[in-house]
């Protein structure tokens, strides 16, 4: 069974960061090595160039969310690396915007179960390059006066995909479009702020207050429902569920006309249409994480551009995008939120209940 390290963090933000860095020291070292190689290969940025860009965002993080800057400092000191190296991990989406092709498929589905309880599902396949998979971790964060966070994140990154004890959940899809704005907050910092929120409405207000430094998509939900947030430094656009209470998003802008992608993301529109078609075929009855994985997230239609994507060994090392993990978050009225995570190594992983990790 493929597994991930699991760490539980608490205390001040510096203490949370230091424990993060010391617990995942090896993974953070590999992440830095991998990403700096990727930055050089994809964007011709050497270490000095990466640090120069990271420094611009660090100033904004320090000014706008100093508690998370303290956490980044703690991670760096716990891992024994430079602060700008950890900043670079947290702003990697903004540093080389447009160069990466990390494709993901996200869905939201709100249903009523057999007990008459409202259930909000948030689920996605996260696609990226294989070397990153060994540096993922299941992280729990307990902060005084804030909900407890549970997320799947890359080592060294303070916010990513997951949910909190207040039943607020977030998913992430990359969008490739200029411009970037270093006076606004990077997407992984925004994800952390969402996970520190008591409601989705509070999370959205934080996004609107601070602004997004780059074009990205966040699927944000709580027990009241969900919406797709197509974010841009220019303006945001929000997409509401359809008449069947479903949403889906991949890696292109659906309604935000401020997002001008330089080229079409391969297979993104096909994956989006396929996700909607599969949900319509399934229907809302007897939904479960396993059924979502079996029916939607294991889907291999359209070969290398499928919802469940295999690694394309014909492509250069840093553009061999593949599905790395699946997560299904379940927010149920009157119950603690739960989730299931499966690492992808083979198509059979998705449907084998022995491979399920509880976040």
Cα 282 to chain centroid, rounded: 25
User: Which pLDDT does position 95 carry in this prediction?
Assistant: 85
Angle between helices 66-79 and 47-64 (to 10 degrees): 140
Chain segment 93-136, per-residue pLDDT in tens: 998 764 555 579 999 999 998 888 999 999 999 999 999 999 99
Per-residue pLDDT averaged across 174-200, rounded?
95
Q: Is the separation of the CB atoms in 325 and 343 below 8 Å? A: yes
Q: Is the separation of the CB atoms in 188 and 159 below 8 Å? A: yes
User: Would you say residue 205 has pLDDT above 60?
Assistant: yes
| Residue 206: how many other CB atoms lie within 10 Å | 15
Fold match between 6-95 and 104-358?
Answer: no
Q: Which residue has the tokens 């909607």?
A: 276
Q: How many helices (H) and strands (E) does the chain have?
A: 11, 14
Asked, as a colleague might, if the bond just before 85 is cis with ω within 30 of 0, I would say no
Q: Beta strand pairing status for 161-164 and 149-154?
A: antiparallel
Sheet holding 149-154, edge to edge: 6-10, 136-142, 149-154, 161-164, 169-174, 216-222, 225-231, 237-239
User: Would you say residue 254 has pLDDT above 70?
Assistant: yes
Chain segment 347-358, per-residue pLDDT in tens: 667 777 788 999
User: Would you say residue 319 has pLDDT above 90?
Assistant: no
Please work out, in degrees rounded to the nearest 5, the angle formed at the alpha carbon of residue 350 by the alpha carbons of 347 and 352: 105
> What phi and psi values does residue 264 have, to the nearest 5 degrees?
-75, 135
313 φ/ψ sector (left φ>0, alpha ψ -120 to 50, else beta)? alpha
User: Which pLDDT does position 157 carry in this prediction?
Assistant: 98
Q: Which option is the CATH number for 104-358: 1.20.1300.10, 3.40.50.720, 3.50.30.30, 3.60.60.10?
A: 3.60.60.10
User: Which pLDDT does position 100 carry in this prediction?
Assistant: 56
Q: Where does the pLDDT of residue 18 fall: very low under 50, low under 70, confident under 90, or very high at 90 and above?
A: very high
Gap between the Cα atoms of 211 and 208, Å rounded: 5
Q: Is the separation of the CB atoms in 162 and 340 below 8 Å? A: no
Domain ranges of the chain: 6-95, 104-358
Gap between the Cα atoms of 16 and 121, Å rounded: 29
Q: Where does the pLDDT of residue 9 fall: very low under 50, low under 70, confident under 90, or very high at 90 and above?
A: very high
User: Which pLDDT does position 345 carry in this prediction?
Assistant: 75
User: Would you say residue 172 has pLDDT above 80?
Assistant: yes
Q: Which option is the CATH number for 6-95: 1.10.20, 3.10.450, 1.10.760, 1.10.10?
A: 1.10.10
Which residues, at least 6 apart from 329, have a Cβ–Cβ distance to it below 8 Å?
121, 122, 123, 162, 163, 169, 337, 338, 339
Q: Name the helix (H) or strand (E) containing 100.
A: none
């Amino acid at each position: 069974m493929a597994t991930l390290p699991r760490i539980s963090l608490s205390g001040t933000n510096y203490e949370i960061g230091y424990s993060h860095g010391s617990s995942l020291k090896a993974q953070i070292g590999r992440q830095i090595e991998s990403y700096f190689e990727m930055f050089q290969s994809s964007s011709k940025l050497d270490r000095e160039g990466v640090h120069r860009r990271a420094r611009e965002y660090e100033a904004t993080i320090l000014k706008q969310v100093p508690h998370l800057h303290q956490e980044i400092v703690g991670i760096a000191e716990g891992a024994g690396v430079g602060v700008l190296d950890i900043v670079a991990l947290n702003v990697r989406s903004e540093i080389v915007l447009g160069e990466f092709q990390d494709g993901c498929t996200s869905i939201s589905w709100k249903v009523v179960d057999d007990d008459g309880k409202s259930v909000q599902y948030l689920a996605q396949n996260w696609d990226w390059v294989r070397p990153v998979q060994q540096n993922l971790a299941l992280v729990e964060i307990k902060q005084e006066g804030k909900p407890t966070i549970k997320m799947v994140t890359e080592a060294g990154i303070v916010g990513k995909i997951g949910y909190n004890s207040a039943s607020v959940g977030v998913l992430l899809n990359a969008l490739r479009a200029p411009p970037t704005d270093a006076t606004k907050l990077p997407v992984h910092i925004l994800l952390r702020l969402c996970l520190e929120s008591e409601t989705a409405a509070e999370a959205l207000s934080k996004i609107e207050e601070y602004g997004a430094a780059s074009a990205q998509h966040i699927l944000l939900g709580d027990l009241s429902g969900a919406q797709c947030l197509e974010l841009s430094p220019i303006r945001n656009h929000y997409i509401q569920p359809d008449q069947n209470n479903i949403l889906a998003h991949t890696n292109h802008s659906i309604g935000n006309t401020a997002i001008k992608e330089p080229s079409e993301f391969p297979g993104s529109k096909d994956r989006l249409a396929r996700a909607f078609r599969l949900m319509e075929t399934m229907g809302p009855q007897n939904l479960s994480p396993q059924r979502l994985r079996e029916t939607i997230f294991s889907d291999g239609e359209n070969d290398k551009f499928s919802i469940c994507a295999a690694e394309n060994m014909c492509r250069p090392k840093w553009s061999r995008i593949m599905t790395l993990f699946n997560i299904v978050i379940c927010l149920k009225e009157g119950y603690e939120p739960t989730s299931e995570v499966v690492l992808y190594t083979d198509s059979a992983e998705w449907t084998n209940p022995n491979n399920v990790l509880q976040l």
